[in-house]
Every structure is written in C-alpha cells, then in structure tokens.
Amino acid sequence: MSAAIWFRNDLRLVDNPAVAAALANCTKPLKAFYLVAPKQWQQHYWAPIKLDLLWRHLAQFKADLKLHDIELELLECPHWHQAPRVINDFCQTHQITDLYANAEYPLHEQQRDRAVENWLAEQHISLHMTHGQLIAAPTIRTKQGGIYQKFTPFHRAWREQIRVSGLPECPQIKLNEAATPAAIGACPLPTKSSEAWPVGEVATLALLDRYIENHVANYADERDLPGLDTTSRLSAYFELGIVGVVTAAKKLQQLSPQFPDGLEQGADIWLAELAWREFYQHLMAHVPRLSQGKAFQAHTDAFPWRTGEQAEADFARWCRGETGFPIVDAGMRQLNSTGWMHNRVRMIVASFLVKDLQLDWRWGERYFMENLIDGSFPANNGGWQWSASTGVDAVPYFRVFNPTSQSQKVDPDGRYIRTWIKELENCPSKYIHAPSEWLRANQNHDYPLPMVDHKQAREQFLEKFKAL
C-alpha cells in the first residue's frame, strides 16, 4: 500500500489521527502535501500576519517532517475547485492508493473534500477522513436528534462524552529537536511579520507547557483583564493546527484524576473555552448558512443596519481606533499593531460596532479576519453573531455593553488603555475611561471626543431590534 497525508489546518505530528492512520497502514518513507491556495485565502480574508505565521511554520514543519521520513510537498492550487485535479495528479505521480486527512467543517471545505473524494474514487484511490481538529466529532445530538443551539447544554453533553469515551487517543510520535527550516520560497501573497510568534511543533508545545504550569491556575481571576496579558495566546496555533486541542486537553487531564471533573476553577474555565471553540466548529459543520454570510436567526437579517458615506466613515474610525471611547480604541490599535486582541476586548469592540454605531456585524467579522493572526472562521463568526444578537446562544439583544463601565471593570487602572493610546499616557486615572473633561481642560485634541452618545445609541438600537 502506498499512502500519503494531506495536511491542512493540522500542521503537526503529535495527536494527529491522520498521520497516525497513515503510519499504521503503510511503510516509510511517506509522502505528504499541503495545498497553497492564494485565491482561496483571499476569498476567506486571511490576514497577512496569519499567512506569515503559516509560511514560517511550513518551512519549519517541512524540515521536521523530513526527520521522520515524511516528505512534504507544497502544491499550487489557487482555488479549492482545482483541488481534485491537483491532488489526483499528485497521487498518480507517486502511485498513491490511500490518502489520509483530517476533516474541516466550513461549507467550502466540505464541498472541496466531497469533490476530491469522488474524483479519487474514480481512480480507485481511497480518501480516509478523521476528526483531528476536535476533541469530540460533530456527532453530538440532543435527545430529539437535533443539534445544540445553546452552549450550556452542548457543554454538558460534550463533557459527558469525554467522561464516557475519554479523550481521543492515537499512537504518539516522539519529536526530535527542531531542524533548520527548509527553503520553501516566498509566500505568494503579501505578509506582515509574525516574528513575535514562535513556530515549529517543539517550540509551540513548550508554550503550552509553560501556560499550563504558570498561568492556567489564575485564568478565572485574570482572563478578563487585558492589562495583565496572561491569557495563553495559543489560539493562533490551534487555528493552524500547530498545537492540537486534544493535546491541550491532555495537559489539563494531568491536573485531575477525575477529568473532565475535579479541576481547579482556572483550569476548568479554560477547558470550557475549548468547548466554546468546538461548539462553533460543530455549528459550522451542520448549518451551511453560517458559511454564507447569513445570520443564524434568519429574521435578524432584516435589521436596518446603517449604510452610506457616513456609515462607512464611522466604520473607518472604528477600524483606526478613533471612536473616543478608550477601551474600544485601545483594542483596535492593539489589533492593527500586533494582529491580536484580548478576547474580552473583542466583545467590547464588537458590541460597540453593532449596537452603538449600528453597523453590520459582517463588516466587523471581515475586518477581524483580515487582521487577526488567529482568525478562525467558525469562532470569529460565532463571536460576532453572539455580540450582534443574531446567532445561536446570542447575548440578548437588550444587553448592550456600555463601553465606559466595561472599561472600568476590565481595565480599572487604565494600564491597557495607556499601553495602546499614547495620547492618554498622562491622563489621570480619574478620567482614563471617559477622558472628555480632561481633554477639554487641557485643550488636548490629539485624542477624539466620543463619536456617539452611548445612551441615545443604545435606545435607538433597542427600538430597531424590537421591531423585528
């Protein structure tokens, strides 16, 4: 039997069931490939910094795979509709009879995989799919046989599956020390430097170990405080599959013999965050409209979002971090500068865009994808629809974040604000969350006054949403 591995957003050896299956059913050396799809990446709004992280990791991953007698090829495939022919040509060239891959769940990826499977079947080549991106495959159902539309009951069922079945297991591969990165040429699309983010499986697993050892115990107390910067920042690695979510869960399992029960509060809440990630992946697998720019709650597609020149100008101010609300602007400037934003602040800036400015959540969803190093289509879509009250388990429409009180709650001393808004470096703590009075007194107009009256904007939004 001649086998190959099709790597996608699972660029690792540890806890990779597709790799394990290929190794179990054939002999080395193994062939492997990754589809370089610039047109598809553009269509999906991949951020330049995310592309840079991918490209740097591919160079390291190719070299590391070589140490395990796995030869990785980068195949040019601009768009997914070309994937069947490209993959078939690869299989014919190398006389591949069995191809192993881990499933992906958005609509375009499902369509691609069906087309590839059908094409290869005509050539008597088998495509073997496993669920290497999730702890629980998207088969969890309610007692009535439907999908869960609320996180809390999904979370209970997800944990129960872990209790009954345990975490997914596959033969473990011992990693070597990282090799010298391979030469793979330049990325076909413009990139933005991601040098602040290590690449390679050895380095990123070390990041996971350090987080579990040093920070997860305090996650419950510190996760909503962006000024501390103590969250794991592993989301970019989960997104590209450089670190497997099963590997992360196994680290937590070592903390409690009763896993998934018996964890300390910080670790237990961090496990729940992994469940949130899986919840959105499951939804994406079962609800095509989520991949088509539509709201889960169909009636909310009729909301009269603002349009026109003024709406576009207001959106541009939000993008630049010039709204006059410090916590919002700090978050947007962090994003624009680093390609990452603290998760709690993501909720605050999202609420401000859709409920204060009454601009379409899809504008914000796209902007995040265009700039986030950890841009995950399922999680990003789920988060934006949660904030806009249009999705599953959405925040009730009448709950509108007050950016000032949120700022006081999550950044009480203004540390985060001062880090990202240099105009407010010298602003006294008394005014840091609402600096208008201080700005007027100091005739300091470098930082803008609030672009909306929050109370009035909230009332307008509620009136429009109620009409739906």
Q: Is 158 an active-site residue?
A: no
Residues contacting 98, CB < 8 A, separation 6+? 1, 2, 3, 4, 22, 25, 26, 125, 126, 128
Residues contacting 229, CB < 8 A, separation 6+? 342
Q: Is 201 an active-site residue?
A: no
Residue 231, helix vs strand vs coil: coil
**Does 276 appear as a known binding residue?**
yes
Q: Is 384 an active-site residue?
A: yes
**Does 93 appear as a known binding residue?**
no
Residue of 273, 322, 370, 423 marked catalytic: 273
47 - beta bridge partners? none
In DSSP notation, 90-147 reads HHHHTT--EEEEE---SHHHHHHHHHHHHHHHHTT-EEEEE-TT-SS-TT---TTS--
Which two tokens mark 183?
A: 């030469």
Residue of 55, 197, 361, 363 marked catalytic: 361
Q: What is the Cα–Cα distance from 80 to 88, expressed in whole angstroms?
A: 13
**Does 277 appear as a known binding residue?**
yes
**Does 197 appear as a known binding residue?**
no
Cis peptide preceding 428, ω within 30 of 0: no
**Does 278 appear as a known binding residue?**
yes
Residue of 46, 80, 340, 384 marked catalytic: 384
Residue of 9, 218, 336, 343 marked catalytic: 343
**Does 105 appear as a known binding residue?**
no
Residue of 237, 214, 229 lying closest to 57 (CA atoms): 237
**Does 416 appear as a known binding residue?**
no
Residue of 276, 322, 402, 423 marked catalytic: 276
**Does 264 appear as a known binding residue?**
no
Counting beta carbons within 10 angstroms of the beta carbon of residue 128, is it exposed (0 to 12), middle (13 to 18) or buried (19 or more)?
A: middle
**Does 204 appear as a known binding residue?**
no
Q: Is 343 an active-site residue?
A: yes
Q: Is 386 an active-site residue?
A: no
**Does 46 appear as a known binding residue?**
no
Contact 350, 388 (CB under 8 A): yes
Q: What is the Cα–Cα distance from 305 to 293, expressed in whole angstroms?
A: 15
**Does 274 appear as a known binding residue?**
yes
For β-strands 98-102 and 126-130, DSSP reports them as parallel
Residue of 88, 218, 264, 305 marked catalytic: 305
**Does 177 appear as a known binding residue?**
no
**Does 233 appear as a known binding residue?**
yes
Q: Is 273 an active-site residue?
A: yes
Annotated catalytic sites, by residue? 273, 276, 305, 343, 361, 384
Binding residues for FAD: 219, 231-235, 270, 273-280
Binding residues: 219, 231-235, 270, 273-280
